[in-house]
Amino acid sequence: MPQIFRRRANTLARTGVAALIIIVGGLSLIAAGIMRSPYITTVGVPRQQPVPYSHKLHVGQLRLDCRYCHTSVENSAFAGLPATETCMNCHSQVGIDNPRLEPVRKSFQEGRSIEWTRVNDLPDYVYFDHSIHIHKGVGCITCHGQVDQLAVMVPSRAWSMDTCLECHRDPTPYLRPRDQIFAMHAPPPSDQRALGEQLRKTYKIDSPQKLTNCSICHR
């Protein structure tokens, strides 16, 4: 029976299959890199606001407590955004001629809320509750970074399922005493693992099996 293909056809076929695997694998890695890049995650990308509010000034220099503006963070799923009246508590006397604060004054005079731009926005199919994380010992800087050093607020972490599961599988590296939850520069413990294990028992944090159940975040 005559041979249809030459012997080198086998080599070409193997080379072609190997090249295809390499190309597909390379494209997958590139796609994964793009999905985790700031272009997609917006980590470190400034969000322009209607008012140039500086956390560096208010939190870093003036030492305002997070709860002064984010009033519902301890008892609600949503941390809350400051009402214009909150801003005017100070700015009715401070910076009254500052042109950058004109949107605040106009909002107060018209009784219309300022439309802030959300910096950290999860998909609608993800359930997240600020209050439970606060009460279980997760500090603000764990998710939001050193906001006291930010003149313009930026997302500090990529909010993917991996991010949440990393903590839910082992929360001990991230737990703080409750009096340090809102502190920007809490002194690091000598042994975070030991402290985390102790706080985990104190706060009665559920087991990893329960915390990684799909229904915890997808309801």
Look at residue 170 in the predicted model and tell me its pLDDT: 96
Give residue 128's pLDDT: 95
Residue pLDDT, tens place only, 41-51 = 788 888 889 99
φ, ψ at 167 (rounded to 5°): -80, -40
**Better-scored residue on pLDDT, 25 or 65:** 65
Listed residue (210, 195, 70) closest to 134, CA to CA: 70
130 within some domain: yes
95 in any annotated domain: no
pLDDT at 121: 87
190 phi/psi in degrees, rounded to 5 = -70, -30
What integer is the mean pLDDT of 151-156? 92
Angle between helix 84-91 and helix 102-110 axes, rounded to 10 deg: 120
Mean pLDDT of 167-182: 95
Q: Are residues 61 and 164 in the same domain?
A: yes
Do residue 22 and residue 63 come from a single domain?
no
Q: 146 vs 20, which has greater pLDDT?
A: 146
User: What tens digit of pLDDT does each residue of 175-188 get?
Assistant: 999 999 999 988 88
Is the predicted pLDDT of residue 1 greater than 60, yes or no? no
Which is nearest to 140 in space by CA: 156, 158, 122? Answer: 156
Q: Are residues 122 and 155 in the same domain?
A: yes
Same domain as 200, residue 170: yes
Residues 18, 72, single domain; the answer is: no
Within-domain flag for 102: no
Tell whether 71 and 173 lie within a shared domain: yes
State the residue range of the domain holding 13. 8-35
Stretch 122-149: mean pLDDT, rounded? Answer: 94
Q: Comparing C-alpha atoms, which of 181, 217, 214, 183 is closest to residue 199?
A: 181
Residue 77: name the closest of 154, 134, 29 by CA: 134
Checking if the pLDDT of 166 tops 90, the result is yes
Same domain membership, residue 175 and residue 74: yes
Any domain includes 97? no
Distance CA(208)–CA(202), nearest Å, equals 16
**73-125 pLDDT tens trace:** 999 999 999 999 999 999 999 999 999 999 999 999 999 999 999 899 888 99
* Domain tally, the chain: 2
Would you state the pLDDT for residue 7? Answer: 67
Q: Are residues 151 and 183 in the same domain?
A: yes
Is position 47 within any domain?
Answer: no
For residue 145, is it within any domain?
yes
Q: What is the pLDDT of residue 19?
A: 85
Contacts of 53 (CB under 8 A, 6+ apart): 153
